[in-house]
Amino acid sequence: MIFLQIDSSVSASAVDVQLPLGRLPIAIRHKRAHGDVGEDVIDESRNCNDPKLKQLIFNNISNDAPTSKRAIQKAAEMEFGGTFDVICSTCEFSFVISSQKYCDGIKDQIACFVFLQPRVSTRHMREG
């Protein structure tokens, strides 16, 4: 039998996230409302505890959600190590996570949230 155990020796932050794309961050809304051209700016968000991860998200968001999530996951795992989960969508999404490292970002109507999975150890136990 295999038991999965979360490594509780490392503290994690609980994050409640709701990203409605109808309500883009003020910096992006303001820019689009005034017809400015060029790339969107990185939004300022309370849902991020690592500026380097935020930049990584922004650099890897493309024009569709499936491609973005795969690119962000690969880049995050190469940069930081560990296993990252990535959610990207053009629609509203809401969820709650507990993680040591997390961040969201929005670019060109694609919203993504990235978080590091907690470390898991496995133990083999014999029944008997």
Cβ–Cβ under 8 Å, residues 108 and 57: no
In this prediction, residue 58 carries a pLDDT of 96
pTM of the full predicted structure? 0.64
What fold characterizes domain 2-124?
A: Protein Inhibitor Of Neuronal Nitric Oxide Synthase (3.30.740)
Helix (H, G, I), strand (E, B) or coil at 83: coil
Residues of the chain with pLDDT under 70: 1-45, 121-128
In this prediction, residue 122 carries a pLDDT of 60
In this prediction, residue 19 carries a pLDDT of 53
In this prediction, residue 93 carries a pLDDT of 80
Read off the amino acid at residue 73.
Q
pLDDT tens-digit series, residues 55-73: 999 999 999 999 999 999 9
Give the residue extent of every domain in the chain: 2-124
CB-count exposure of residue 67 (10 Å: 0-12, 13-18, 19+)? middle
In this prediction, residue 121 carries a pLDDT of 62
In this prediction, residue 54 carries a pLDDT of 96
In this prediction, residue 114 carries a pLDDT of 96
